[in-house]
Structure 1
């Protein structure tokens, strides 16, 4: 029996194995069929949806409300040029055409600005909506529309809304965009009518992302928990005026006339600017520390509009006078650095009156936002203009002392201004919140349950009066007051000369921008904006005590006292977020937190070297300057790194990459890959373990991926890819402020900043600068070995420094097939942080690209049809349109497209013509 039993038992596994094998093959077959079926269904679904939503670009369409026919001419990239006979027809057609290409994007934007994202995307957006409702952008926009904007601007906004709604009429969601079809899987959301206030609100979102130094204000206050005044000063060095030139160099404030003058100034008023905060909350209380740490988390989750939540935003714009150009007329270049988004934040178009007259006043082309009439950056028949963020300080945080009935102010309890906000949630119950405001603004701290608890339990010290039962953080911000920026857009679009442009700029209140100007003979710069003044000794660099009136804003800098330049003798003007003017030439504090001038000085040097060589600057020279990849921090550090004695042959092999390197960060450069890893590790070693853990938000992995993957890695890998760091340890982002920090410490070889403990394995501790640099070179070698492989011949900067374009809604959190349909990339990029070609990355979170030159343009004022432009993606927001990302490949290469302006040039470049008929 045992043998039979054995035989029997020996046969059973074979049968079972065969059955399991057949079953496994069957499962695989079923899965394959399911996948094929899913793909087929997805393909059918997406193709049918795409066909339903792609816009008509040929033939004719009847639009009720037009007074006459309108021609929409699109070139080979789908960029529209609109021709009409009245202003109202022009802007109505603009609304219709933008809705054709980008309505889903417009719809998401207006839900963000009004704090209604939950209506589209469900309960996951409730917290964001609570914060956005507290800011109240749409409420301010409505007040602007009702009380501030001119009658003509209202008329144009109404016409634009009429055009958008004409496009929506009779269409369901899937006929508008495939994203609506995808949303239909989870809720019954349907688009509603467009309003003029929807357009105005977007200016508030833009202003939020360009708000200036609020993050620095928070960080400085949090640093006081661990660092002393000298250490904080090390990390926020003074602007290097002698090395990196300010924008305005030939003007000065005149005390006698109380105006800013370019010539004839006889005296310089004393400056009140500085780089360190004073008074009030400088001895940060427990309550302030807790409130600000919590606020960090709230701010980090707020959706971005055009930037990266107020961080890492820059731009380049410069203009060269005719005496230094090949054309004999000025050249103007601009490339704003904003979040990498899909579709691009910008929309290219032309708005042309067939005959310019009082009835139809516009002949303008350039870049605008989908959802907003007019052109924001570009040129008309007479002038051109560009913008960079000025960075002036228009936000202040106030620590408020709260009680149950109000807040303390000058020894008295003042009642809150309150309102209720009801948030509707797709697929869920509505939620009602109460927004409380002090005389300094809304209480941001109310939007986080933990902050409210902390406020109630906060201990009281000498920095805050002993009264009441808690603390809160209020925000004062110029954009929370009704203004006239929408008027400015239309005024600039039809400005004919410098005086017109300056008058238009005075209306551009929020956000404050550096404006560069050119016409056929002249160049100029002006700083507009509603910019607050503060009491003596208060510079807005740290949060202030809200209970004391002496810390309130005292007024606004008068428009005729703001800096400007017109036809400076040097023959060019460069703006790249550096200081606007030397502090000894100006009596007002504009900010304590300029960009440090790395990009601006590089552009200046490139222009000046061409001039010094006796050459003339061409349109293509301007383009090549825009894509300059030179690393200024590498020029400082590499000579030091090459002097360090390296014993390890593998690390020495990597060090040799830096020998003879020209500091250019091309995508195919192995030296650039190694240097940037060394730089990142220098920052981590020198500063990462010394900064307060409350700054951990700066150390988050903002975008992490394996070097050869096509997307983000899992959470477990993410920690490793971030450099095995302590998740509670803050790390610097590596921007040009850190360039200046390290530059200032270079000669102090034994500074405490250079000391760091031993690392993992045989990583040595550091007692001085060169020892820390050596440790960074070792760590960088092994980091890149893990990411790129041991063979350094295969290394390249582009393998680390990659751009993924993700649809900002369903491309990040939607179903996998939807993400596949909507997203694009990766692209291997040249450039880097604080280079002219500013493909920004955050050293705290890896090497992936976070912000980019969102567009590039070069305007030739001698022949406008020889101007050039490019967008990050394309004209269309439809995922399967030929114009979804058709400009991206050329953008990556640094190429520009022809930019037609005259009627003849537009006709020659036209591929499709659509006639809109009344």
Structure 2
């Protein structure tokens, strides 16, 4: 939430001063220290909790992680709400204001545009529909009990006793948190689904690329999945789909038609992309790079004789961590109180999302199914075209309340495809102004708009699924629970104490009559509507595969040629998944058994797969160096490198700089202006609808084009899609992509020299040497990857846009870390913006099905959301070192690890 005006900045300076005052920094005020400590949770003694029917125990270990014991389900979730509010209420409150489009009530005018966009999507309204019409009676009962627990905490806490942030907010406005509701919890699932929504950005970017690149060139930048090299999750033999009659009929013709229509609204799509970039990234940076690892190994190949299961979701680093560790235990497990579960939860939502109970364990990674489609709409002021007829928009008004400012009222319009999201940007109101008329689209008339169809905008039963998974006891009940997990579509892995392992793909995945979802579709043609969802019984699944293991890391789920439905064409490219698979296979083929330590070591594997491809070429290039061995000394670092991206590795630092500069030279400087960094200007040939525009001498006219995108969104991000792009051109030393000059690239008759692969790579090595000299110094021996590759943890509100002193108080870091982009230890960085860590293994767990008390886990930060609490970031240093903490589960083990016990009584 960036600072956008002086009044906003003034308010934040005041907030910073108040936080300093409350914290007692520089004032030596003992009462101020006591004030900030007043928000810390009471973890010992006794508290009366309104609504309880019996006593509840909250046992916390030395990391502050709570295990709750209650006699009834309602008491269990009432206590969960109370305890999470103790540790994380500010985080919970910000989240519910985000999901309901009400951030401006807390933070003023700077968040109005975000609120307007989220009101247009209508997350909160869909969550209300789910609660009213879809969820079971037991789920509603649990949600209400959770809300009652939160509200019991709020009844006795306000201002500074809630958190230091509220003390500051209360000083600059009259904001006071309102009561928690069940719908506040349900709405968080929409935020999850948004950040895991699939390929919307790819749809936009492919369309924008049509302004400069040919269809063949665009396809080169989005290559097909390498099925022959990187194994999908599910073997062909496991595909048992019963019918192919309703499979997608996407064809090149329909895709081309949609792409042509999309090219008519380049300015609108570019502006929409910028609008999407402004929406706070809850789980990952603008939805890009979101990935995860999970794998499960049969007991036949483990040292315990029972399955081992690992999971580490890759999400945006933030303070506090997105996850909250917790155990929920009925003192006597029965049908009336069926919970005995431990794992990772979301603050603000009851239940456990990832973890294990007494019988099964499960993990999740993002399936990446294409569950969003953008539709181009031919519009007038109050109608849109559909199958040759004008239809009225459905519309309603929304009022956004703004702290310290005037209310703002917006009109939300929808077509039969979905909400018109282009209404939320001033530039998008000029729809069609620059669009050429083509045969694939109606006359632009008043212009075009952009609407969104998305599975999460249909009410579902995902909240039911959370509780059903928590209480599942075997594969049959687990699959039945997964059926209700509608959005976001996930890869679910499974293991049980009986020795079984499995995989299930749940979720609502649309079937399209025409089109493949790669480009925005013509909204005026009903042929591009969704027809139905893939039947659950025909979603990919696998149980006890003969190979003895299952790996999911965002790769293709199934071989597209063997499966009759289209899940997506925008998979991750399998770099991480195949590395994990190879590590497992090597161990098994060598006759060894896999231990808990082996699983943990795999999670920390930092091997660079793109380095294995490029380094043998880089080390053979003859460097022409007019400064003696200045470049050659850096090149020598690669000759003995083992490809591991350890924090102290100088070679890893240099290689990643070479990779970044290679991408910039080969691809980034050839992108259309809509995808280049704002302010970056290039001289390129002029074009119109028919192609290049020639001058009187037959040479292409040249124009100066300046970039329009934010710097961190403009260049290739360096992920494993780019690994595949480079792999496919690596043996073609004269590929047009190796041309370093944009003018020579666009204008084949250019007088500019046409460089080859080795010339471009030599230039990238030279640029990398100079870049690292400026960043790390001239002495190569002092270089390290960790000095470039830093993790900073930021409070997601004041820690991002507050004054420097506030950031210092609320944020933590940096940590110098190893790992890297598309490594198993996926401390991802965006080559467009630099080397800082932008997504991480947000938690790690390894579960032993032979003895749950031998399981291990770690969180990115800590249990507490209070900036000065001992558990604010106490797990981060261990996390950075790849360490895991013991994970007690049985009552005996929990008691042995307990540091504090709190009694909650009626």
The aligned residue for residue 753 of structure 1 is: 737
TM-fit CA distance, 1:188: 1.5
Q: 2:792 aligns with which of 782, 804, 816?
A: 804
SS at match of 1:189: coil
Alignment of 1:759-774 (within 5 A): 767-774=755-762
- Give the CA deviation at 1:462: 2.3
- Partner of 2:717 in structure 1? 733
- Give how far 1:41 is off: 3.5
- Among 816, 830, 835, which residue is 1:842 paired with? 830
Shift of the 833–110 alpha-carbon distance from structure 1 to 2, 3 Å rule, reads: same
In 1: Cα distance, 2:790 partner to 2:253 partner: 37
**Aligned position for 1:706:** none
Are 1:663 and 2:643 counterparts?
Answer: yes
CA deviations over 1:783-813 (Å, ceiling 9, x no partner): 0011100000000000000001110101112
Q: Distance in 1 between matches of 2:821 and 2:29?
A: 39
Deviation at 1:111, TM superposition (A): 0.2
- Cα distance in 1 for partners of 2:828, 2:204 equals 22
Q: Tell me the equivalent position of 2:426.
A: 449
User: Which of 129, 151, 173 pairs up with 1:143?
Assistant: 129
2:353 is matched with 376
Structure-2 separation of matches of 1:455 and 1:113: 31
Tell me by how many angstroms 1:114 deviates.
0.2
**Shift in CA distance, 159/800, structure 1 to aligned 2, threshold 3 Å:** same
Instruction: Say whether residues 1:858 and 2:846 are aligned partners.
Output: yes
Instruction: Establish whether residue 571 from structure 1 lines up as the match of residue 548 from structure 2.
Output: yes
Aligned counterpart, 2:111: 125
Match of 1:719 in 2: none
Q: Structure 2 CA distance, aligned partners of 1:47 and 1:819?
A: 19
1:290 and 2:267 aligned: yes
Call closer, same or farther: CA 1:728–1:513 in 2, change over 3 Å: closer
Unaligned runs of 5+ in 1: 1-33, 260-267, 701-722
What residue number does 1:523 align with? 501
Task: Give the aligned partner of residue 243 of structure 2.
Answer: 258
* Shift of residue 535, structure 1, vs aligned partner: 1.4
Question: 1:380-438, CA deviations, whole angstroms, 9 ceiling, x for partnerless residues?
Answer: 00000000000000000000011122111001111111111000000011000000000
1:408 equivalent among 369, 385, 390: 385
Structure 2 CA distance for partners of 1:900 and 1:698, relative to 1, 3 Å: farther
Question: 1:358 offset after TM fit, Å?
Answer: 2.0
Q: Determine the C-alpha separation between the residues in 1 that align with 2:349 and 2:539.
A: 28
SS at match of 1:870: strand
Alignment partner, residue 20 of structure 1: none
Residues 75/690 of structure 1: CA separation in 2 closer, same or farther (3 Å cut): same
Q: Which residue of 2 aligns with 1:703?
A: none
1:585 aligned counterpart, secondary structure: coil
Paired position in structure 2 for 1:829? 817
Conserved 8 A contact 1:535-1:553: yes
Which of 457, 466, 471 is the equivalent residue of 2:443? 466
| Aligned-pair CA distance for 1:40 | 2.2
Structure 2: runs of 5 or more not aligned:
1-19, 681-706, 744-751
- Once residues 489 and 726 of structure 1 are traced to their aligned partners in structure 2, the CA distance between those partners, rounded to angstroms, is 38
Is 1:70–2:56 an aligned residue pair? yes
The count of corresponding residues between Structure 1 and Structure 2 is 848
Alignment of 1:521-600 (within 5 A): 521-536=499-514, 538-600=515-577
Moved more, 466-475 or 657-666: 466-475
Deviation at 1:48, TM superposition (A): 3.4
Q: What do the CA deviations read for 1:537-592 (whole angstroms, capped 9, x no partner)?
A: x1111100000000001111000000100000000000000000011210001001
Offset of residue 459 of structure 1 = 5.1
Quick one: distance in 2 between partners of 1:517 and 1:276? 40
Could you say if the C-alpha distance between residues 585 and 531 of structure 1 is closer, same or farther in structure 2, counting changes exceeding 3 Å?
A: same
- Distance in 1 between the 2:780 and 2:742 partners? 26
Of 452-461 and 424-433, deviating more is 452-461
Label 1:413 to 1:726 Cα distance change in 2 as closer, same or farther (>3 A).
closer
CA deviations over 1:225-247 (Å, ceiling 9, x no partner): 10001101110001000000000
1:583-635 CA-partner distances (Å, limit 9, x unpaired): 12100010010000000000000000000111000011000000100000000
- 2:491 partner SS: strand
Q: Does 1:652 align with 2:632?
A: yes
Structure 1 pair 473–306 and aligned structure 2 pair: CA distance change class (3 A): same
Would the alpha carbon gap of residues 276 and 582 (structure 1) be closer, same or farther in structure 2, given more than 3 Å must change? farther
Question: Tell me, what secondary structure is at the counterpart of 1:913?
Answer: strand
Alpha carbons of structure 1 residues 420 and 384: separation in structure 2 relative to 1, 3 Å: same
Question: What is the aligned-residue RMSD (CA, Å)?
Answer: 2.3
Query: Structure 1 length as normaliser, TM-score?
Result: 0.90
Counterpart of 2:697 in structure 1 is none
Partner Cα separation in structure 2 for residue 813 and residue 677 of structure 1: 29
Residue aligning to 1:8: none
Shift of 1:699: 11
Listed as ranges, the matches of 1:150-549 within 5 Å are 150-254=136-240, 257-258=242-243, 278-284=255-261, 287-455=264-432, 460-466=437-443, 468-520=445-497, 521-536=499-514, 538-549=515-526
Q: Output the TM-score relative to the length of structure 2.
A: 0.91
